[in-house]
């Protein structure tokens, strides 16, 4: 809690720790109301720091005692200043013993040690360990942990911590204990403990070198029938990291615990991952295909952290993308290997463009490696994670897969056991391949999404094609002037048959690059001109293939050229992208018609090109589904100078309805072809067919005929798994009909005891664009299942309303903004991390008309001016108003 503005931490102020902690022994006497923690730190003074005091961090912990080498510490040797404990006059090597008292059952922030569903669990990243005991809570202090847990045996039969179990047994008074030892030195943010009444699913894994590993997933007993998929995903991830990166697991046991109350997705604590139950629990009837895929990728993500994050960790929190960008890149590649690579790439790019690009254009814009922060929890962002992954991907594109692998090998070998920087990572890539990435490093320091303006010019007389490329990056807060970046641009040019024309640059030897039709151009200057020779006819360029850099590419294609690329581009990503660009153009045209008060008409050529995709027998169903999904409202908003939420919504609905009506027979044929896909088949092929069947159903309902509604309602009642059920329910959600209400009611009755399924029910209603949305959201807050202390529920209702219901959230009277401000303030005193994420929905008020701007600013001011606001919420709200 703060009264004055909290202080800002700067990367440039980094100083190595004065004291090292070689070992920690922690004893917990677990009691939900009063937990006693005894900590013994083996301290060593770093060279050249004689006389400097020891500083320990602590937050909401009561200090009971302090002793050095067995003797109570003299009161004059220490003092507490706010959240810092300073100790002077310590010998260069000593053991410091600290006893503290904490109150886990009052911890609603879900950081440190807390209680969820009656069980103890911890969340220490980024700075939660200081809520457990006084400690140098920074990632460059790595220590070997031994942890003793003591608790009531009946209430807490399972006692877990990091590493290997070395002792356990019963005590008097119904107590029992367990002792865990983690041989790998780790930063405090990777510490974890879990205690409770949990059931466990077990399996085994034999590593490539023959080490036997016990795999255990702990859940509440009634969820034991929802763990198979998570276990299968874990085993796949372990094998994949061996095969693709040569990384083996290093302890005797790997544990995952699912908890219902969790601020984020999951946490990679060494040997003891704690997961939001959303990313563990799945059964065919409770989880959709998307849920199954998300679980597999989050399990993989946390597993991959064992090397990219735990064995090699971050020197300080400015380096967060060192572990997160790299690990997202690794989990993206893993998922791509389990499914259709292009589909995975399309999904990732959509996510980046609809969530990270807006962040990069907002008052909260920051580089992949930020220079400063008030609250580090606010920097677990799309930029650090997703743009960070794109930066790693570009390195792979520049070095080639093989060079990149050599760089990774060197990185793991050179820095194992260390806390390092993103610069160390790039240096390993350079040293392994003898490439110079000095200009490339700017990607880590420069915020904002670069724009590349491209133009082509064909010289028929000399058979030359000139490609002109100009890059620029818009100003962002604190960074008015940008330098040119090193950008890999994958490209090809196509002849009129859609074949790739071999590319040879002017002056290049006949062999160099002349064979292949695709090449990677490297942009380093603000302007480049590439002249290709022996180009027999005026070509159509296919640029930024596979989205080879996180930029906005502008090229003035004609509608015909876009339709041509949609049909012929050999790069599946760009084939999809051409369709998206075409749809954006059509939709923005409709927005202008709406604004001018003119009647709307669907573009015939666009509808015809969609029809061709629908009937293309060679396209994978998942790719057809991607191609025929219209760009989302937030992505469309990004393409406008001043966002017109209502016109965007109307234009998109109009085009959806037109495609539904005009291609009705095609949709019906597709639906009938794929509706019977084996509901138990979780392979990528079956998922793709279900996705397309669901899309078809949505278009049939959007067409507005009763036939579509009847079909969707029948599908809902006969659904054989959650994917079918949700596709039907979603199709009905924006349709004011009896079927909708009947289906929602039946869904609630059936699933009211399954929190993860009930979240879906809350979200669907919160995002529905039917009139009266805000009233419905407010009524749902009185639903017995609603609980402001549960982050999943908050995100499902309040989060979905603010981020997935633009028309109602941005209601002209400001009611959506006022509602959000109220909820942010109510939540801030319970859980600042979750509250801060909600505030971001108000950040970009400058993009809206004056009336909305004014009301959004009012809501932000109301938040900032509240007394006793958390650092988390203060930072976002105040930066937004700057």
Going through 14-124 in order, the beta strands assigned E by DSSP cover 19-29, 35-45, 54-57, 62-68, 71-72, 78-81, 84-87, 93-102, 112-116, 119-123
Q: Return the residue of 31, 97, 125, 759 that touches ligand TRP, per CB under 6 A.
A: 125
> Which residue in 564, 690, 707, 679 sits closest to 625, CA to CA?
690
123 CB contacts (<8 Å, ≥6 apart)? 110, 111, 112, 114, 262, 263, 267, 274
CA nearest to 566, candidates 607, 499, 626, 627: 627
- CB of 322 vs ligand TRP, minimal distance in Å: 12
Q: Closest CB to ligand TRP among 60 and 748? A: 60
Among 366, 360, 361, 318, residue whose Cα is nearest residue 478: 366
> Least distance (Å) from ligand TRP to the CB of residue 380?
5
125 makes contact, choosing from ligand TRP, Zn ion, none, with CB < 5 to 8 Å by partner type, with ligand TRP
Contact segment (CB under 6 A) with ligand TRP among 162-170, 265-273, 515-523, 613-621 equals 265-273
All residues at 6 or more sequence positions from 232 whose CB lies less than 8 Å from its CB, including other chains: none
Considering CB under 5 A, how many residues would be counted as binding Zn ion? 2
CB of 225 to Zn ion, least distance (A): 28
Tell me if 739 contacts ligand TRP by CB under 6 A: no
If binding is defined by CB under 6 A, does position 375 make contact with ligand TRP?
Answer: no
Task: Based on the shown chain and the rule CB under 6 A, indicate whether residue 264 belongs to the binding site for ligand TRP.
Answer: yes
377: partner contacted, choices Zn ion, ligand TRP, none (Cβ within 5-8 A by kind):
ligand TRP
CB of 385 to Zn ion, least distance (A): 7
Residue 68 phi, psi (nearest 5):
-120, 125
Judged by CB under 6 A, the stretch of 263-271, 485-493, 515-523, 688-696 that binds ligand TRP is 263-271
Nearer to Zn ion, 370 or 541 (CB): 370
Name 123's bridge partners.
112
128/621 with CB nearer ligand TRP: 128
Query: What is the distance between the alpha carbons of residues 757 and 780, in angstroms, rounded to a whole number?
Result: 15
Active site residues: 302
- Binding status of residue 299 toward ligand TRP by CB under 6 A: no
Instruction: Indicate the DSSP class of residue 797.
Output: I
Q: What's 395-411 look like in SS3?
A: HHHHHHHHHHHHHHHHH
Closer to ligand TRP by CB, 309 or 816: give it.
Answer: 309
Residue 266 sits in the site that holds ligand TRP (CB under 6 A)? yes
* E strand or H helix that includes residue 738: helix 738-751
The least distance separating ligand TRP from the CB of residue 796, rounded to whole angstroms, comes to 18
| Nearer residue to Zn ion within complex by CB, 124 or 578 | 124
Following CA atoms 296, 121, 153, 64 in sequence, which dihedral angle do they give, to the nearest 10 degrees? 160
- Residue window 308-327: x/- pattern of binding to ligand TRP, with contact defined by CB under 6 A: ----------------x---
Decide if residue 658 touches ligand TRP (CB under 6 A). no
Alpha helices in 596-721, H assignment, sequence order: 604-615, 621-627, 633-638, 645-662, 664-674, 684-702, 706-718
Q: Which parts of 281-340 interact with Zn ion (CB under 5 A)? A: 324, 327
123 binds, among ligand TRP, Zn ion, none (CB under 5 to 8 A by kind): ligand TRP
Q: How far is the CB of 375 from ligand TRP (least distance, A)?
A: 11
**What three-state secondary structure class fits 199?**
strand
CB 119 to ligand TRP: min, Å: 17
Q: Does 114 bind ligand TRP (CB under 6 A)?
A: no
Chain residue whose CB lies nearest ligand TRP: 264
Query: Exactly one of 35, 100, 123, 133 binds ligand TRP (CB under 6 A); which one?
Result: 123
- Quick one: what does residue 335 bind among ligand TRP, Zn ion, none, with the CB cut-off 5 to 8 Å set by partner type? none
Tell which phi-psi region holds residue 417, choosing left (phi > 0), alpha (psi between -120 and 50) or beta.
left
Q: Is residue 377 involved in binding ligand TRP (CB under 6 A)?
A: yes
420-449 residues in contact with ligand TRP (CB under 6 A) are none
- 839-867 as b/e, with b when 16 or more CB fall inside 10 Å? bbbbbbbebbeeebeebbbbbbebbbebe
> Cα separation of 656 and 696, whole Å?
11
Question: Which position among 140, 182, 268, 626 is part of the footprint of ligand TRP (CB under 6 A)?
Answer: 268
CA-CA-CA-CA torsion sign (760, 360, 317, 379) = negative
* Distance set, CA 234 to CA 242, 296, 334, 780 (Å): 13, 8, 12, 36
Binding site for Zn ion (CB under 5 A): 324, 327
Binding site for ligand TRP (CB under 6 A): 123, 125-126, 263-264, 266-268, 301-302, 324, 377, 380
């Amino acid at each position: 809690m703060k009264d004055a503005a909290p202080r800002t931490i700067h990367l440039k102020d980094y100083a190595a720790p004065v004291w090292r902690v070689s070992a920690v022994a922690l004893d917990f006497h677990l009691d939900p109301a009063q937990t006693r923690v005894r900590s013994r730190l083996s301290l060593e003074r770093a060279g050249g720091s004689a006389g400097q005091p020891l500083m320990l961090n602590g937050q909401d912990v009561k200090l009971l005692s302090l002793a050095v080498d067995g003797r109570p510490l003299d009161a004059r040797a220490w003092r507490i200043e706010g959240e810092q404990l300073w100790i002077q006059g310590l010998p260069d090597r000593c053991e410091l013993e600290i006893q503290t008292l904490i109150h886990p059952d009052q911890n609603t922030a879900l950081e440190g040690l807390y209680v969820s569903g009656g069980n103890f669990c911890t969340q220490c990243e980024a700075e939660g360990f200081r809520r457990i005991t006084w400690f140098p809570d920074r990632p460059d202090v790595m220590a070997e942990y031994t942890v003793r847990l003591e608790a009531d045996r009946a209430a807490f039969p399972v006692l877990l911590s990091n590493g290997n179990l070395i002792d356990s047994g019963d005590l008097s008074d119904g107590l029992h204990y367990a002792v865990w030892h983690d041989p790998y030195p780790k930063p405090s943010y990777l510490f974890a403990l879990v205690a409770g009444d949990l059931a466990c699913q077990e399996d085994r894994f034999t590593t490539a070198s023959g080490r036997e590993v016990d795999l255990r997933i702990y859940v509440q007993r009634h969820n034991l029938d929802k763990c198979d998929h998570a276990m299968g995903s874990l085993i796949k991830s372990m094998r994949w990291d061996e095969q693709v990166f040569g990384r083996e697991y290093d302890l005797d046991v790997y544990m995952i615990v699912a908890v219902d109350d969790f601020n984020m997705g999951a946490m990679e604590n060494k040997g003891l991952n704690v997961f939001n139950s959303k990313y563990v629990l799945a059964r065919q009837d409770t989880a959709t295909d998307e849920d199954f895929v998300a679980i597999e990728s989050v399990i993989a993500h946390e597993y991959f952290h064992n090397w990219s994050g735990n064995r090699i960790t971050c020197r300080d929190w400015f380096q967060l993308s060192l572990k997160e960008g790299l690990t997202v890149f690794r989990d993206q590649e893993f998922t791509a290997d389990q499914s259709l690579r292009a589909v995975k790439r399309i999904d990732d790019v959509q996510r980046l463009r609809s969530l990270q690009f807006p962040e990069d254009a907002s008052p909260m814009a920051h580089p992949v490696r930020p220079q400063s922060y008030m609250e580090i929890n606010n920097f677990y962002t799309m930029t650090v994670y997703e743009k960070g992954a794109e930066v790693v991907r570009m390195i792979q594109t520049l070095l080639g897969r093989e060079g990149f692998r050599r760089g990774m090998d060197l990185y793991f070998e050179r820095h194992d056991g260390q806390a390092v920087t993103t610069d160390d990572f790039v240096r390993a890539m350079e040293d392994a391949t003898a490439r110079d990435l000095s200009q490339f490093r700017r990607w880590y320091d420069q915020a904002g999404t670069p724009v590349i303006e491209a133009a082509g010019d064909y010289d028929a007389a000399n058979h030359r094609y000139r490609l002109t490329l100009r890059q620029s990056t818009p100003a962002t807060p604190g960074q008015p002037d940008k330098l040119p970046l090193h950008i890999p641009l994958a490209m090809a040019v196509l002849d009129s048959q859609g074949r790739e024309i071999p590319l040879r640059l002017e002056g290049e030897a006949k062999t160099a690059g002349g064979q292949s039709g695709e090449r990677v151009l490297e942009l380093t200057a603000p302007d480049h001109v590439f002249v290709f020779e022996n180009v027999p006819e005026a070509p159509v360029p296919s640029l930024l293939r596979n989205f080879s850099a996180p930029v906005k590419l502008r090229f003035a294609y004609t509608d015909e050229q876009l339709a041509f690329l949609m049909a012929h581009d050999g790069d599946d990503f760009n084939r999809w992208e051409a369709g998206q660009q075409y749809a954006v153009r059509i939709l923005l045209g409709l927005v202008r018609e709406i604004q001018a008060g003119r009647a709307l008409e669907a573009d015939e050529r666009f509808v015809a090109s969609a029809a061709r995709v629908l009937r293309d027998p060679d396209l994978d169903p998942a790719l057809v589904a991607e191609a025929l999904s219209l760009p989302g409202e937030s992505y469309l908003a990004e393409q406008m100078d001043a966002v017109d939420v209502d016109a965007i919504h109307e234009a998109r609905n109009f085009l959806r309805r037109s495609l539904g009506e005009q291609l009705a027979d095609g949709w019906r044929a597709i639906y009938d072809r794929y509706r019977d896909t084996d509901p138990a088949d979780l392979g990528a092929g079956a998922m793709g067919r279900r996705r397309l069947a669901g899309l078809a159903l949505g278009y049939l309902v959007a067409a507005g005929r009763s036939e579509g509604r009847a079909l969707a309602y029948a599908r809902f009642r006969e659904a054989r798994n959650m994917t079918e059920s949700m596709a039907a329910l979603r199709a009905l959600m924006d349709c004011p009909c009896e079927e909708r209400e009947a289906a929602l009611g039946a869904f609630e009755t059936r699933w009211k005891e399954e929190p993860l399924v009930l979240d879906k029910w809350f979200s669907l209603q919160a995002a529905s664009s039917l009139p009266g949305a805000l009233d419905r959201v407010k009524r749902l807050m009185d639903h017995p299942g609603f609980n402001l202390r549960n982050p999943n529920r908050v995100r499902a209702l309040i989060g979905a309303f603010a981020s997935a219901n633009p028309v109602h959230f941005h209601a002209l009277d400001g009611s959506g903004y006022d509602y959000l401000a109220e909820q942010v303030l109510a939540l801030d005193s319970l859980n600042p991390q979750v509250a801060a994420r909600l505030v971001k929905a108000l950040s970009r008020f400058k993009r809206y008309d004056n009336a909305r701007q004014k009301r959004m600013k009012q809501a932000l001011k109301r938040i900032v001016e509240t007394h006793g606001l958390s650092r988390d919420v203060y930072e976002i709200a105040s930066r937004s108003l700057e």
